[in-house]
Amino acid sequence: MYFSGIQPTGKMHIGNYLGAVRNWVKLQQPGNQNIYCIVDLHALTDKLTIDHEIKFDQNTKSDTLSLAATLIASGINPQQSVFFVQSHVPEHAELQWILSCIAPKNWLNKMTQYKDKKKEYSTLGLYTYPLLMAADIILYQAQYVPVGLDQKQHIELTRDYVQRLNSLFKLNIVEPQYLESTCPKIMSLRDGNKKMSKSDAIDGNRINIDDSKEEIFEKIKRSKTDSIPQIYFDQDKRPEISNLLRIYQAFSNLSMEQVIEKYLTKTTVDFKRDLSELIANELNTIAQKKKQILNNQSELEQILKEGSMKAREIASKNLKLIKENIGLLV
């Protein structure tokens, strides 16, 4: 059983696509049970802003539909995978509450993502975010969780909660394993030591999945490199060109050695032009499919409804077992 989720926040970029979505598509093999979720409840932790006045971004519905269309256009097949929206399955929030009652608060105090993201007005939701993520995974008894390296600590915390549930209530819940992406981390186009991010204020630092061919060419053209004319990989001394080489490797499905050999005698201008073409061709295919999907929104919503029904079938059964064992009247 494989489970993973993605937030409908910000603009999905090629780091998300290569590091997560492509991996999910590859896992859709005969014999694998895959559950993929748009985690819209998680996305609410980022919606509150307090500046001169208190505001709450209410675009989650449109962002969810856009992301769902992107994922299907990228190869997520609702016939092969259980594909749904988190808030359509209330068992997630119910299990989150149960988990909040079986372990001390200091388990959450050690989470580095909260320390990195917290602001003066941070919500309780941001603090308890790891609990909801643990509930997401436990609810489906997921054996493998393919997520980014930055989420590895959350998987370790989930294992702690599974062990607590199993020891306290004589359950036999599967301890999830972190499944590392086959694609190396994709970095910012302007800083080879900084991760490409949806929340980056500078759009030119990333390539969004919805960028046009012209935007892709312009961003790659302006991406930072160095004064060395030769093209070769050296993460420590040449992080920016090394990042572009990784992106080329991922989109071309060539080995790093093959990419370097191909551009051994070519210029950086040649390399950037070819890289832009490579990215644009793949993303343009996704964009065309996405447009067709969004043109029939009612069909898309029906796909998500059917996915949530399949998810609830699994979730309700597993939650019922947990509730019975902790002593609730079921």
State yes or no: is 305 an active-site residue: no
Tokens standing for residue 166: 């199993």
Q: Which residue is catalytic, options 117, 213, 289, 310?
A: 117
Query: Which tokens hold the place of 68?
Result: 């769902």
DSSP letter for each residue of 267-309? -HHHHHHHHHHHHHHHHHHHHHHHHHHHTTHHHHHHHHHHHHH
Coil, helix or strand for 142?
coil
Contacts of 237 (CB under 8 A, 6+ apart): none
In eight-state DSSP terms, residue 111 is -
Torsion of CA 24, 25, 26, 31, to 10 degrees: 90
Backbone angles phi, psi at 57, to 5 degrees: -65, 120
- Catalytic residue from among 47, 185, 194, 195: 195
* DSSP H or E run through 99: helix 91-100
CA proximity to 203, closest of 221, 217, 195, 215: 215
Residue with tokens 């006045």: 53
Catalytic pick among 47, 198, 224, 323: 198
Known catalytic membership, residue 195: yes
Q: Is 117 among the catalytic positions?
A: yes
Instruction: Tell me the catalytic residues.
Output: 117, 195, 198
